[in-house]
């Protein structure tokens, strides 16, 4: 099985940015979301990121940055290399990779 | 969403639409890629649709709810057409396909595999058209209802974005939280299908019905890993192109387990296909990953392209060429026939509380026809919205904050850190192993014991401290609290029903028993922690 090294941005608004590093092996074809969900079960349940539909690419909640480019975590594939994940830069940060993406009139802040 | 629209159209001045996720994007509706059954074609009538629905339900459908599904559902489908949802056309009418169990081509759809997104988008647009009357709030996870002297007066929820609790007062509350398939390891669910609505209703004191009937979708995608597409996407392929279901030795096998030869058509109902695949795998004739092969290799490429256009490219991106490759499929948890017991106006046992959509039990009996679920969601949403508006105009008890106190205290409590995601995964595996489509008393009892152990590990308060934005671990705790109650409901029903019917198959009671042509009701007695048969 190939393995990947994920550098995941952690923390909330106002905290000094830091990236935690997680190594994990994967089956070819698996998505970044597959890896993040597995990490919550096996390594760190406090990791924050957004998703709802898992597979269908219907909810569009899982947007984040991979190496600086906007992706859907559920459709971007894992690769056997260092991969850096950051929250969307143009949305208010909630925590880790999760940002406030709902339209402002659908939020209760 | 339709319930909120309808409530406003019936004069409700102030409607609050809450969702634990983004509005209109978190549930099953937006994920549905296939078809919607409605008697809207020439020569069809809702009563023909009803006859098929009742037959599929194997004697357990609530006939009034099933009739509403078929009659009001057809009206909703036509209204969606007025709202420009984009149902595919053929000649002067709708393009309709015939799904198994329907007596004719009755299922409308939006190409290509876009039914759910189109339905959600259309409803969202209509929602916004209603203007100020409907306030929409996402990322609000409802955790308990507020009950005063047996009447539901509002709800308590977690604001996911801040981690803070909130209370909501309401003269009428509609539960439209969808199904429970996240209970199972292999499912077609979103993260939001933990059966919350069933647990909310049960904790408030309302009865649940037919909870043992979980529908497994026989040809869920199994391998190779396919991303960006929902795992039940092979169904529309089968509608349009037939396809061949083969065992590990590349032989057709449905006939061996009581089905009719398919001859490249799609005619086997969901419960039978699930049975045939499971048995074939048990007999050691499964595909490499423990399912069956699905093959379209006999279908010419031009035909594939004409039927599914861009989807063929999405498959290619996943390394799948259907003219060359077969894929592996196996049964996955997909829909729940059971749910909250309601009357034909969608009222639950409790004044002030209504339900709609998949959260409602009873309309589809022991087995749901394909295409009936979106129709059900629309029809029941419309009825519930109108009824809620009527109730909201009547005098109601004043909201008493003291009644919300215990639920608020739970959300404000603190406990040591634990990994709840791992506990959820354990529940999913235990449900898949013992409470899947084929059940035995021994397996169900084992599940029951394992559930008690999980409940003990869950404890009485969520891990960590309140007030942390997007705290998935605390959310998992709140979800698991609901999932354990809902799993208990499925298990109690499955143990009690000592027969095999539709989606509930007992290997120790393989025959359908006429004495069991009745519904099972469950309730959580006041102050109790376990459900009882009611
Ligand atoms: C992948 C897939 C494909 C399907 N394809 C079809 C098809 O082609 N045809 C068909 O007829 N049926 C299909 N179904 C079934 C059908 O989609 C569902 O039964 C139907 O959409 C349910 O609608 P609903 O409004 O009741 O619930 P949903 O659409 O599931 O909506 C429930 C909403 O409640 C929210 N929610 C849940 N719990 C809470 C809570 N505690 N607090 C706040 N909000 C909450 C969720 O976030 C969600 O937005 C499919 C289902 C799936 C999963
Ligand atoms: S998880 Fe829904 S689009 Fe990615």
Place of tokens 């308990």: B144
pTM (two decimals): 0.96
**Interface contact B137-A29, CB threshold 8 A:** no
Verify that B72 and B173 share a domain, yes or no: yes
pLDDT per position as a tens digit, B52-75:
999 999 999 999 999 999 999 999
The per-residue pLDDT for B235 is 86
Rounded-to-5 percentages of helix, strand, coil across chain A = 15, 35, 55
What does the CA dihedral A36, A42, A45, A50 come to, rounded to 10 degrees?
Answer: 20
Verify that B245 and B374 share a domain, yes or no: no
Q: Which of B25, B30, B32, B35 to mutate to test the pocket of ligand 1 (most atoms within 8 A of CB)?
A: B32
Verify that B114 and B92 share a domain, yes or no: yes
DSSP string of B54-66, one letter each residue = HHHTTT-S-HHHH
**B354 domain residue, yes or no:** yes
The per-residue pLDDT for B531 is 98
Partnered with residue B355 across adjacent β-strands are B175
Ligand 2 contact via A55 beta carbon (within 6 Å):
no
Q: Domain of B283: which CATH number?
A: 3.90.700.10
Of B346, B369, B393, the last residue of a domain is B393
Cis peptide bond upstream of B224, omega within 30: yes
Verify that B148 and B164 share a domain, yes or no: yes
CA of B32 to the centre of ligand 2 (A): 14
Residues B399-414, mean pLDDT to the nearest whole number? 98
The per-residue pLDDT for B262 is 78
Residues B184-194, mean pLDDT to the nearest whole number? 95
pLDDT exceeding 90 applies to what percent of chain B? 89
In chain A, residues with a C-beta closer than 8 Å to the C-beta of B473 are 40, 45-46
CB B145 within 8 A of CB B392: no
Task: Kindly identify the ligand whose nearest atom is closest to the C-alpha of A34.
Answer: 2
Mean pLDDT of chain B: 95
B270 noted as active-site residue: yes
Verify that B80 and B193 share a domain, yes or no: yes
Q: How far is B514 from chain A (nearest CA, A)?
A: 40
Do the strands B327-336 and B292-295 form a parallel or antiparallel pair, or are they unpaired?
antiparallel
Ligand 2 contact via A52 beta carbon (within 6 Å):
yes
The per-residue pLDDT for B223 is 92
The per-residue pLDDT for B140 is 98
CA of A50 to the centre of ligand 2 (A): 8
Verify that B86 and B149 share a domain, yes or no: yes
Q: How far apart are CA A54 and CA B230, in angstroms?
A: 8
Q: Domain of B188: which CATH number?
A: 3.50.50.60
Verify that B365 and B277 share a domain, yes or no: no
Please give the residue that has the higher pLDDT: either A14 or B491.
B491
The per-residue pLDDT for B31 is 93
Mean pLDDT of chain A: 96
Ligand 2 contact via A26 beta carbon (within 6 Å):
no
The per-residue pLDDT for B271 is 78
Verify that B54 and B105 share a domain, yes or no: yes
Confidence of residue B115 (pLDDT cuts 50, 70, 90): very high
CA angle B278, B429, B269 (to 5 degrees): 30
**B531 domain residue, yes or no:** no
CA angle B260, B364, B47 (to 5 degrees): 85
CA of B246 to the centre of ligand 1 (A): 31
Taking 90 as the threshold, does the pLDDT of residue A56 lie above it?
no
**B137 domain residue, yes or no:** yes
Taking 80 as the threshold, does the pLDDT of residue B264 lie above it?
no
The per-residue pLDDT for B443 is 98
In chain A, residues with a C-beta closer than 8 Å to the C-beta of B16 are none
Q: Is the ipTM of this complex over 0.95?
A: yes
CA of B228 to the centre of ligand 2 (A): 8
Ligand 1 contact via B431 beta carbon (within 6 Å):
no
Taking 90 as the threshold, does the pLDDT of residue B433 lie above it?
yes
The neighbour count for residue A71, using CB atoms within 10 Å, is: 17
Of B363, B393, B423, the last residue of a domain is B393
Q: Look at residue B287 and give its three-state secondary structure.
A: coil
Q: How far apart are CA A30 and CA A21, in angstroms?
A: 19
Taking 90 as the threshold, does the pLDDT of residue B211 lie above it?
yes
Do the strands B151-159 and B140-148 form a parallel or antiparallel pair, or are they unpaired?
antiparallel
pLDDT per position as a tens digit, B274-312:
989 999 999 999 999 999 999 999 999 999 999 988 899
pLDDT per position as a tens digit, B318-349:
899 999 999 999 999 999 999 999 999 999 99
Of B284, B311, B333, the last residue of a domain is B333
Q: How far is A76 from chain B (nearest CA, A)?
A: 8
pLDDT per position as a tens digit, A16-44:
989 999 999 999 899 999 999 999 999 99
Task: Kindly identify the ligand whose nearest atom is closest to the C-alpha of A54.
Answer: 2
Q: How far is CA B60 from CA A51, B63, B135, B195, B365, in A?
A: 36, 9, 38, 21, 4
pLDDT per position as a tens digit, B351-376:
999 999 999 999 999 999 989 999 99
The per-residue pLDDT for B422 is 95
**B236 domain residue, yes or no:** yes
Extract the tokens encoding A76.
């971007």
Cis peptide bond upstream of B15, omega within 30: no
Ligand 1 contact via B173 beta carbon (within 6 Å):
no
In chain B, residues with a C-beta closer than 8 Å to the C-beta of A26 are none
Q: How far apart are CA A70 and CA B269, in angstroms?
A: 42
CA angle A105, A106, B1 (to 5 degrees): 125
Ligand 2 contact via A25 beta carbon (within 6 Å):
no
Comparing CB atoms, the residue among B30, B226, B469 nearest residue A59 is B30
Residue of B nearest to A94 (CA): B469
Verify that B286 and B312 share a domain, yes or no: yes
Phi, psi torsion values for B269, nearest 5 degrees: -70, 165
**Interface contact A51-B473, CB threshold 8 A:** no
Verify that B24 and B81 share a domain, yes or no: yes
From B219, B272, B264, B261, select the one nearest B242 (Cα to Cα). Answer: B264
Fold of A3-100: Ubiquitin-like (UB roll) (3.10.20)
Q: How far is CA B23 from CA A105, B4, B26, B38, in A?
A: 11, 12, 7, 26
Taking 80 as the threshold, does the pLDDT of residue B265 lie above it?
no
Backbone φ/ψ region at B181: left (φ over 0), alpha (ψ -120 to 50), beta: alpha
The per-residue pLDDT for B242 is 86
Verify that B135 and B90 share a domain, yes or no: yes
The per-residue pLDDT for B236 is 82
Domain that holds residue B225: 215-333
In chain A, residues with a C-beta closer than 8 Å to the C-beta of B420 are 45
From B24, B516, B327, B380, select the one nearest A59 (Cα to Cα). Answer: B24
Taking 90 as the threshold, does the pLDDT of residue B33 lie above it?
no
Confidence of residue B228 (pLDDT cuts 50, 70, 90): confident
The per-residue pLDDT for A55 is 84
Q: Look at residue A18 and give its three-state secondary structure.
A: strand
Verify that B360 and B293 share a domain, yes or no: no
Residues B198-216, mean pLDDT to the nearest whole number? 98
Q: Which of A34, A58, A63 to mutate to test the pocket of ligand 2 (most atoms within 8 A of CB)?
A: A58
Number of domains in chain B: 2
The full 3-state SS of B340-385, as one line of letters, equals ECCCCCCECCCCCEEECHHHECCCCCCCCCCCHHHHHHHHHHHHHH
**DSSP label of B435:** S
């Amino acid at each position: 099985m190939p393995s990947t090294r994920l550098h995941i941005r952690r923390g909330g608004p106002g905290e000094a940015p830091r990236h935690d590093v997680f190594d994990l092996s994967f089956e070819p074809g698996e998505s970044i979301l597959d890896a993040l969900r597995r990490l919550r079960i096996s390594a760190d349940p406090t990791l924050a990121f957004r998703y709802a539909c898992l597979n269908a690419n219907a909810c569009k909640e899982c947007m984040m940055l991979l190496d600086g480019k906007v992706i859907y975590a559920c459709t971007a594939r894992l690769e056997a290399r260092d991969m850096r994940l950051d929250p969307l830069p143009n949305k208010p940060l909630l925590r880790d990779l999760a940002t406030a993406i709902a339209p402002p009139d659908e939020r209760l802040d | 969403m339709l319930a909120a629209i309808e409530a406003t159209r019936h004069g409700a001045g102030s409607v609050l639409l809450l969702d634990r996720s983004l509005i209109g994007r978190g549930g099953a509706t937006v994920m549905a890629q296939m078809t919607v059954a409605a008697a809207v074609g020439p020569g069809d009538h809702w009563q023909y649709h009803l006859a098929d629905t009742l037959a599929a339900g194997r004697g357990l459908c609530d006939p009034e709810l099933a009739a509403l599904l078929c009659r009001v559902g057809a009206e909703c489908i036509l209204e969606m057409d007025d709202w420009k949802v984009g149902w595919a056309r053929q000649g002067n009418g709708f393009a309709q396909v015939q799904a198994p169990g329907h007596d004719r081509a009755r299922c409308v759809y939006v190409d290509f595999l876009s039914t759910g997104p189109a339905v959600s988008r259309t409803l969202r647009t209509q929602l916004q058209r209603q203007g100020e009357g409907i306030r929409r709030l996402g990322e609000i996870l409802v955790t308990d209802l507020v009950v005063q002297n047996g009447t539901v007066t509002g709800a308590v929820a977690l604001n996911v974005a801040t981690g803070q609790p909130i209370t909501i007062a309401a003269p009428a509350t509609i539960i439209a939280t969808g199904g429970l398939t996240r209970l199972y390891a292999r499912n077609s669910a979103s993260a939001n299908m933990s059966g919350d609505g069933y647990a909310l209703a049960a904790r408030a004191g309302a009865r649940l019905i037919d909870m043992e009937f979980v529908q497994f979708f026989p040809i869920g995608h199994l391998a190779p890993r396919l991303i960006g597409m929902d795992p039940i996407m092979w169904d529309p392929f089968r509608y349009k192109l037939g396809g061949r279901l083969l065992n590990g030795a590349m032989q057709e096998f449905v006939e061996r387990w009581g089905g009719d030869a398919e001859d490249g058509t799609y005619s086997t109902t969901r419960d039978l296909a699930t049975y045939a695949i499971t048995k074939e795998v048990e007999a050691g004739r499964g595909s490499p990953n423990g399912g069956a092969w699905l093959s379209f290799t006999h279908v010419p490429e031009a035909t594939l392209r004409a039927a599914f256009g861009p989807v063929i490219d999405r498959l290619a991106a996943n390394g799948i060429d259907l003219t060359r490759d077969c894929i592996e499929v196996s049964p996955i948890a997909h829909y729940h026939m059971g749910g909250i017991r309601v009357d034909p106006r969608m009222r639950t046992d409790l004044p002030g509380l209504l339900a709609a959509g998949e959260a409602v039990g009873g309309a589809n009996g022991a087995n749901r026809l394909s295409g009936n679920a979106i129709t059900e969601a629309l029809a029941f949403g419309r009825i519930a919205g109108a009824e809620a508006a009527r109730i909201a105009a009547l005098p109601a008890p004043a909201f008493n904050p003291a009644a919300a106190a215990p639920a608020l205290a739970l959300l404000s409590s603190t406990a040591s850190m634990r990994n709840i995601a791992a506990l959820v995964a354990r529940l999913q595996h235990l449900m898949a192993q013992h409470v899947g489509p084929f059940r035995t008393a021994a397996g169900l009892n084992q599940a029951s014991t394992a559930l008690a152990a999980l409940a003990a590990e869950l404890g009485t308060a969520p891990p960590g401290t309140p007030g942390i934005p997007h705290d998935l671990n605390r959310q998992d705790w709140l979800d698991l609290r609901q999932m354990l109650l809902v799993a208990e409901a499925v298990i109690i029903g499955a143990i009690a029903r000592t027969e095999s019917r539709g989606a509930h198959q007992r290997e120790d009671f393989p025959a359908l028993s006429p004495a069991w042509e009745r519904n099972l009701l469950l309730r959580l007695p006041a102050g109790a922690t376990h459900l009882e048969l009611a």
